[in-house]
Amino acid sequence: MIAPKTPKPTPAESRRAYELVKERSFGVCEICGRRRATEIHHRLHRSQGGRDVVENLIHVCGSGNHTGCHGDAHSDPTRYTLGWALRNGTIPAVEALLYRGRPATLTTDGGVAYPDEVPRGLVAAGGYTTKGGHR
How many structural domains compose the chain? 1
Residue 3, in any domain of the structure: no
Which one, of 97, 53, 111, lies nearest residue 119 by Cα? 111
> What rounded mean pLDDT belongs to the chain?
86
Residue 97, in any domain of the structure: yes
DSSP state of 62: S
Residue pLDDT, tens place only, 5-62 = 667 899 999 999 999 999 999 999 999 999 999 999 999 999 999 999 999 999 999 9
Instruction: Using the predicted structure, report yes or no on whether residue 117 has a pLDDT greater than 70.
Output: no
DSSP state of 123: B
Instruction: Using the predicted structure, report yes or no on whether residue 81 has a pLDDT greater than 70.
Output: yes
The domain of 69 spans 11-113
Angle ∠(28,127,15) on CA atoms, nearest 5: 40
In 10 A of CB 82, how many CB atoms? 17
> pLDDT: is 124 or 94 the higher one?
94
